[in-house]
Every structure is written in C-alpha cells, then in structure tokens.
Structure 1
Amino acid sequence: MSDAVLPAVTAAPPRRRTRVPVAVAIGLGWIALMLAVALLADVISPYAYTALDLRNRLSAPVGIGGSWAHGLGTDELGRDVLSRLFHSIRMSLLIAFGATIIGAAFGTGMGFLAAHFRGWVEQAVLALVDFSASLPFLILALAVLAFFGNSLTLFVVLLGFHAWERYARIARGLAISAGAQGYAAAVRQLGARPLRVYWRHILPNIASTLIISMTLAFPEIILLESGLSFLGLGVQPPATSLGNMVGYGREYLTRAPWILLAPAFTIILTTLAISIVGDWLRDRLDPTLR
C-alpha cells in the first residue's frame, strides 16, 4: 500500500503590526484631550468663564505665588484663566470644525461641477479658483468683517472659504480620473443619475485624499481664527476663544504673562499635533508610498 502524498501546507506569513510613531501617539493623545475638554467644558470648569472676582484680579498661578483656587491665575477682571481656557478651546474647535467642513463641501462641489460639465463651466470654475488662490485671504477677511460686522455665523462661513480652491482642484482631478475608469462608466450605463454617481461611487473613492487635506487645513483655520480674534475682528465678548484670550492678554504681558501664555501654548500644541497626525495619515493612506 503506497503512502498517500499529502499536499504541503504553507503557513501564511504573519501580518506585520503597524507601529504608531511616538510623536503621532502623543499628537493623537493631545487631540483627544482637547476634544474631551471641548465636550466637557461646562462640567470641568471650576467657575463660570464670565464670573468676576475683582478682589483677586491678576492673581498668579499655582507655583509662582498663587493658590489652588485659581490654578492658572486670573485676568484683569478677576476671571479664572483655566475656566476661560476650557471654553476658549470649545469655541475655537467649533469654529475650526465648522469652517473646515464648509470649505471641504464647497470646494468638493465646485470640483465635481467642473469635472462633470467641462467646457466653459470648467473654465469658469478654474478661473474662480485661480482668483481665490491669488487673493490674500487675511486682507479679504479684514475687509468683509469690517464692512458687515462681527457676526459669529459670518465669521465661520468666511473662514470656511479659506483654501476651498485646494479641495476644488483635488476633487476635479480625481473625479476626471475616476470618470475615465471602468466603475464610473459602468454605473452611468446602468442609468444612474450624475448626482448618485458622484455621491455614492466617486466620493467614497477620493474621500481619503480629501480627509487628509482637511487635517492639513484644520490647523491653518485655527491660526486664522486666533489671528483675527487677536485683532478684535473675530469672536466678540462675552464669548471667548483662544485668539481672543491672547488679544486681551497682550496688554498685561509684563505684569501677568499667564493670561497670554496659557492660550498661546494651547494654540501651538494643538496645531502641531494636528499637523503631525495629518502628515502621518497622508503617508499611511497614500498608496504610492506603500
């Protein structure tokens, strides 16, 4: 009786675990902390961010002569800096999230419009893109806010139009490329409407690139909001934001530097963390780098 020849079984190569770099892990942790602070600002704030305590105005933080009653000190009106910092983080993140979504939605829509109609519509969109890219956004923002006033809704919408041309170029190029591929043409031949083709088939395939662009634009919007609020054209009292706190703290830089330093360091660390995570996502999701 001959021995049966068993087929050789080859073990599948073990899957290599992806290690997250230390800098990226720290950045993700900081972003998670900022989101938690924004969500729980009302709960974790020791005082109301508008509460005045004139007897403790310009009180120093703990460690340099202050008390635990005001861990990060107080400002010129005796308001608790820590409480104002928590609510400022919430306001700045809300503005940045809203503006980023508006810019991405508008730019992607314009890019799809140019990719679908081509011809004079495409030329008009590209001309608008070039005009927007060549116009200094800060000067435009100063002019619009000075003329129409300091409405928070207008402020968010205005910031949303920052760098929308970046999304328009990306969406147009990727939509044209996807349209030349088989899956988009097959869906069209089945009778799908253009809106369904772009929304259900093309957009999911280019979403990773758009998300990476959003993570890279997010810190830019935070810095723009901080700069405009610093100049007095952004968030208005009694509301507060990180740039608003820096703007008020500059007058007391020599007497009470903690008023300015706390929001300034928060801006620096948040933008740095988002930039690091955005660069890492770009490297992870780019198929040409695998």
Structure 2
Amino acid sequence: MAVRAQALLAQFGKLPVLMLIAVTWLGFMLAVAILADLITPYPYTQMDLHNRLSSPVFMGGDWAHPLGTDELGRDVLSRLIASIRMSLLIAFGATIIGAVIGVTLGFVAAHFRGFIEQIVLALVDFSAAIPFLVLALAVLAFFGNSIVLFVCLLGLHAWERYARIARGLAISGNAQGYSAAVHQLGASPLRLYGRHILPNIASTLIVSMTLAFPEIILLESGLSFLGLGVQPPNTSLGNMVGFGREYLSSAPWIMLAPAFVITITALCISLVGDGLRDKLDPTLT
C-alpha cells in the first residue's frame, strides 16, 4: 500500500502546473461540499437586519462575516458554502442522467440498426436543434419548479452528444473480434454491451462527461440567475448571483463571490477534461 501511495504521489507531482492547480481547486470544492454542514459559520438562512450589507474584511469589515452580508443580513460565506454544495450536486446528478440516457440510446441504435437506429438519430437531431434555454423555460413554466425536476431537465442537456459517441464506438466495437467471440459464446446483448463494450469506451465517455460538467454548472447558474432554477430558501451559485445583481453598485461582494467560484470551477473542470483527453486518447500520444 505504501509503495502504491508513493507511486500515485509521484504521478500527481508530474502533472503540469495548471493541471495541478485545477485538481487542487476541484478537490477543495469537493471537500467544501461534503463538509458544508460542519464548516458553515452560520445557518445560511439566518437573517440579521442590524448587520445587513456589511462589508467583507478586505473592504474594512470585521471577521465575524469575512465575506460580508447580503441585503437581509445573511452571511455571504455561509450562503456560498451551501451554494457550492447545491450547485455541485445538481451538476453531478444532471451529468450522470445525461450520460445514462445518451449511452443507453446509443447502444440501442448500434444494436438494432435499421428503423430503430433512424428513430434514435432523429431524436438526436431534434434535441440538438431545439435551443435548450427555450425548452427549459417551457418545461419549468408548465410543470412548475422543484429540485428533482430541475436536475432531470438539466440532464437532458447534451445527451445527444453521448448518444452519438456511444453509437459510433459501439458499432466499431461490434466489428472487432472480441465482440463477435462473446456473441458466439451466447452472451446476451445486455452482457455484451455492459461488460465488454462499455469498459472499452469508458475513457472517451469520461472525458465527454468532464467537458459537459462545466456546461451544466453554467446552465444552472444562468437559469437560477433568471429565477427559474433553485428557489428560496434553497440557494445555489447562480441564485446568489441573481439576487446580488441588484446590489452590484452598493454591495458588489454579494455577487462577486459566487461569480468567482463559478468561473474558476468551470475553468478547472475544463482543464481537467482537456488533460484527461490528452492522456486517454491514443491518437494524441
């Protein structure tokens, strides 16, 4: 175990500087999300009207509220920690949902071909042709808003990307010898695709998921900014930016703190995705 840990540390130390910074930041964000209940200095809904719009410490405020307070006297740091957990949870759930839907339909198209394949490809083209923001506005206006619905809706974003990738790679895998051998041994389609083809294309799908993850974060932020995402008393990064825009001139820290986290997190995930693509794609080595 000690030798393996040393080998992992050695590989971690060989990462490019930007990649090392990105991995460190994402690890920090993950730790904040997991330990949110333990490290939050105040309940994120707690109001203190006597201290409303207090300045952060770098603008002359005190350490009782290091990032200041908002228009209702709520601690910005506490709300930021809770928002990081909510936004990462939404983005992770939506990314998994999109990948599962896309990969499943991609495998269905690759297995049945013919008419069913044409139906799946038509759905892919139809989904890609509809502006996602318009679809989100229509669904949320008609069905109302809830966290579960919101996550499922975001999960529909970019599922066609996974479907195309899974279909193409599955067709290529079916043409190879190991797939034909497994099929001749009597393996079911579920076993063939789940136990043999999926592990061989997993690296490409993982890279696609890391590239789609920041898109989900930005979509959640944009919809929450418009008031269509996470609803009070819950909070998210986009929700904080949306409420803070009205105080941009008088209390910019309300909006700038979550905006900074959104920008840096999306950038770091994109850097990690690019690094994984370069590492796992044999055509780039």
TM-score, with normalisation over the residues of structure 2? 0.95
Q: Aligned runs of 1:143-222 on 2, under 5 Å?
A: 143-222=138-217
Q: What are the Cα deviations for residues 99-158 of structure 1, in whole angstroms up to 9, with x where unaligned? A: 000000000000000000000000000011001011100111011111111111110000
Q: Aligned runs of 1:104-115 on 2, under 5 Å?
A: 104-115=99-110
User: Is residue 224 from structure 1 mapped to residue 214 from structure 2 by the alignment?
Assistant: no
Amino acid across the alignment from 1:270: T
Q: 2:78 and 2:255 mapped to 1: Cα distance? A: 14
Matching residue of 1:41: 36
Amino acid across the alignment from 1:181: Q
SS in 2 for 1:116: helix
Q: 1:195 and 1:26 mapped to 2: Cα distance? A: 40
Q: 2:80 and 2:152 mapped to 1: Cα distance? A: 24
Amino acid across the alignment from 2:27: A
Q: 1:282 and 1:236 mapped to 2: Cα distance? A: 36
User: Is residue 139 from structure 1 mapped to residue 127 from structure 2 by the alignment?
Assistant: no
Matching residue of 2:26: 31
- Alpha-carbon offset, residue 187 of structure 1: 0.4
Matching residue of 1:271: 266
User: Is residue 22 from structure 1 mapped to residue 17 from structure 2 by the alignment?
Assistant: yes
SS in 2 for 1:25: helix
Q: 2:260 and 2:145 mapped to 1: Cα distance? A: 26
- Alpha-carbon offset, residue 19 of structure 1: 2.6
- Alpha-carbon offset, residue 210 of structure 1: 0.2
Matching residue of 1:65: 60
Matching residue of 1:75: 70
SS in 2 for 1:70: coil
SS in 1 for 2:83: helix
- Alpha-carbon offset, residue 64 of structure 1: 1.2
Q: 1:109 and 1:284 mapped to 2: Cα distance? A: 26
TM-score, with normalisation over the residues of structure 1? 0.94
Q: 2:164 and 2:114 mapped to 1: Cα distance? A: 16
Q: Any stretches of 5+ residues in structure 1 without a counterpart?
A: 1-15
Q: 1:87 and 1:162 mapped to 2: Cα distance? A: 24
Q: What are the Cα deviations for residues 152-209 of structure 1, in whole angstroms up to 9, with x where unaligned? A: 1110000000000000000000000000000011001001000000000000000000
Q: Aligned runs of 1:279-290 on 2, under 5 Å?
A: 279-290=274-285
User: What is the RMSD computed on CA atoms of the aligned residues?
Assistant: 1.0
Q: Which residue of the other structure, out of 126, 129, 136, is the alignment partner of 2:124?
A: 129
Matching residue of 2:229: 234
Q: 1:63 and 1:218 mapped to 2: Cα distance? A: 32
Write 1 or 2 for the structure with the bigger share of helix.
2
Matching residue of 1:50: 45
Q: 2:58 and 2:183 mapped to 1: Cα distance? A: 67
SS in 1 for 2:27: helix
Work out which of the two has the higher radius of gyration on C-alpha atoms and give 1 or 2.
1
Amino acid across the alignment from 1:108: V
